[in-house]
A and B are shown apart, each in its own frame.
Chain A
């Protein structure tokens, strides 16, 4: 169960890992925007190529990255179902037919695009957390949010809260596993086909889970106090964020990708008219 935890860092040294966290954060945010501009299969092809190159450069095993897609398995299935049910596009060519169910070509086409968008929306942030430690991530976020400090928002504490949250999630997942197993050994029924029975079996998990998280939080607070914690404000950092030669390169490469995507969408270079090339759309 731990495997699906957010914020998993894959330790290795690579150009992607040593790129500044702030740059990676900015790129990731812009990437999410970019994904929404992609409306064609060729566009996703461009994304896929760039993505594979990034994964390759980061030295994270591809299967590890793809594993993160497990999280959206249910969502993907749901999306598939919805597009199949409520498809409103052209209903010309039937690809598959059974009883009253008909699947049209246009339907598959549209559904594929939605699923691809979902996949790439997950893959981007995954690469960010695989190649950036939570501390760098929160430090980067803290830096990007600096303007907010001017209007009195406590960003230092906010960033610390965020990193503590990231730290505690795997702990809570473990704890949930442990409680589930404990209840199972007392014959609680989590595998029942009956969804109500299953929901009811969840209650004896939630109560001890909440109780134990409070106890853990208490112990953690004591441990932090014991290690001279007096507030997030006057802390210094071991690792300072530093821009290097990698950062402009990363930005330029990403800008190139974004330009291609925008070009595919808006066709703003009149000398190559995309609409004449049939296979692109």
Chain B
């Protein structure tokens, strides 16, 4: 049984409107990481909201751990699927960081000591324990994002969905936050869906799903990023190494076909 399963899902925000998600099927297994890419308005955030039952499909079915989001058990589903949205300012519910992180576990009805432990663990793992009593609004963008991630981690979800949660960060903090996330995912054996514009960031994931106009455009492993022409035609840029390799090939140089990372490129050139 897959952890998340989209079965021919169609969804539009209003009847008569062009569907934001159209005939989409894919699966995410337990422990797997998936990068979801696509340009603005391609339906990425809609997909995230479909995963935890904030939106219900018009046609088809979304199943989490075998349960349909249509059922009465959205609560169970949201325990398993933690979503971190794009803007951290609009996700903070409290004026003290630890109270904010505690919000999820408090909703689960856990005991006070258990909540305390989860909050401390979550803050610790994103490296924000030292800030526990601070005001979340006085943090930097990257720190706010970490707190938002901790808020979802404290729920101990089976899968975490990051909806462009690093888009507002500078490249360095983005890499830092993503490293933290991938470390956590591997340590806790969680699954992960990262939604991003940055193909470079998506290279970390096991699987890639490319959306265009609400439809599946490409799906597969990292080799998807080798198809720079197809990506370019829907407004996405392939990773730098791939583009450099393409350019060199166009100039007649014999560069290996499977160059994805900068290191691959270096190796291919220094051969």
Contacts and interface: CB of A to CB of B under 8 A. Distances in A.
A227 B54 contact: no
Contacts of B134: 11
B93 A167 contact: yes
A228 B95 CA distance: 19
B93 A228 contact: no
Interface in A215-232: 216, 219-220, 222-230
Nearest to B52: A226
Q: Chain B contact residues (Cβ within 8 angstroms of A): what range? A: 35 or more
B226 interface: no
Contacts of B115: 236-238
A237 B112 contact: yes
A225 B116 contact: no
A70 B220 CA distance: 61
Interface string B131-160: 001110100000000000001100100000
A163 B33 CA distance: 36
Interface in A75-123: none
Nearest to B136: A167
Interface string A8-41: 0101000000000000000000000000000000
Interface string B110-134: 1110011001000000000000011
B102 A170 contact: no
B82 A235 contact: no
Contacts, number: 102
A176 interface: no
A134 interface: yes
B104 interface: yes
Interface string B79-107: 10011010101111111101100111111
A220 B88 CA distance: 10
A281 interface: no
A227 B99 contact: no
Contacts of A227: 78, 82, 93, 103-104, 107, 151-152, 155
B106 A164 contact: no
Contacts of A170: 95, 137
A183 interface: no
Interface in A190-247: 216, 219-220, 222-230, 234-240
B180 interface: no
Nearest to A164: B93
Contact of A9 (B90, B93, B111, B135): B135
B91 A220 contact: yes
A156 B116 CA distance: 21
B107 A230 contact: yes
B112 to A, nearest CB: 5
A205 to B, nearest CB: 19
A236 B106 contact: yes
Q: Which of A163, A171, A225 has the most CB of B within 10 A?
A: A225
A188 interface: no
B107 A11 contact: no
Contact of B78 (A7, A171, A225, A239): A225
Contacts of B78: 225-228
Given A134-B96, A135-B94, A167-B92, 13 more contacts: A9-B96, A11-B134, A135-B95, A164-B93, A223-B90, A223-B91, A226-B52, A226-B85, A228-B107, A230-B107, A235-B109, A238-B115, A239-B112
Which 4 pairs between the two chains have the least Cβ-Cβ distance? Answer: A219-B90, A223-B91, A227-B104, A238-B102
7 contacts: A9-B95, A11-B135, A223-B91, A226-B85, A228-B78, A230-B107, A236-B106
Interface of A: 7, 9, 11, 133-135, 163-164, 166-167, 170-171, 174, 216, 219-220, 222-230, 234-240
